[in-house]
Amino acid sequence: MRARNTKARRKRRGKMRKASKGNWGGRKNLVRRMKETLMRAGNFAFEHRKDRKGEMRSLWIIRINAAARRHGLSYSRFIHGLRRAGVEMDRKMLADIAFNDAEAFSELAVLAKGVSS
C-alpha cells in the first residue's frame, strides 16, 4: 500500500475547513470549492486593505474641510496657508484636531488665514 500523506492532508484541510466556517453549502463542505472561496476572500481582503487607506484619507479631508469652512476658509486655502506658515502636520493629525479640539483648530485656521492673505 502506498503512503498518501494522510495526516498532513487532514491537517491542511482542517485549517481550510476552520477558515471557511460560516460559508454556505459546498463552499464550506467541498475541498475544491472551499479552497477557491478562501483564495477569493484573501484577494478581496488584500485589495480592500489598500482601498481602506484611500477611504480614510477622504474622511480626513472631509473633516478638515468642514472645520476650515467654519472659519471662513476652503480646504485648499487652509492647507496652502499651513504649508506657507511652515506647519508640518499630516491630514490625519489635522482631522483629529478638527474633530476633538476646536480651539486648537481655530488657532491653526487663524495662522493659515494670516499667511494666505
Residue 26, pLDDT score: 92
- Per-residue pLDDT at 117 exceeds 70: no
* Dmax (CA) of the chain: 87
Give 2's pLDDT tier (boundaries 50, 70, 90): confident
Q: How many CA atoms lie within 13 A of 55 on its CB side?
A: 6
Residue 1, pLDDT score: 79
> What domains sit in the chain, N to C, each tagged with a CATH number?
7-116 (1.10.1900.20)
Q: Do the Cβ atoms of 105 and 67 come closer than 8 Å?
A: yes
- Model's pTM, two decimal places? 0.74
Q: How far is it, in rounded angstroms, from Cα 71 to Cα 92?
A: 19
Q: C-alpha distances in angstroms, 70 versus 38, 78, 102, 110?
A: 47, 11, 10, 12
pLDDT digits (tens, 9 = 90+) for 90-103: 999 999 999 999 99
pLDDT digits (tens, 9 = 90+) for 26-71: 999 999 999 999 999 999 999 999 999 999 999 999 999 999 999 9
- Per-residue pLDDT at 116 exceeds 70: no
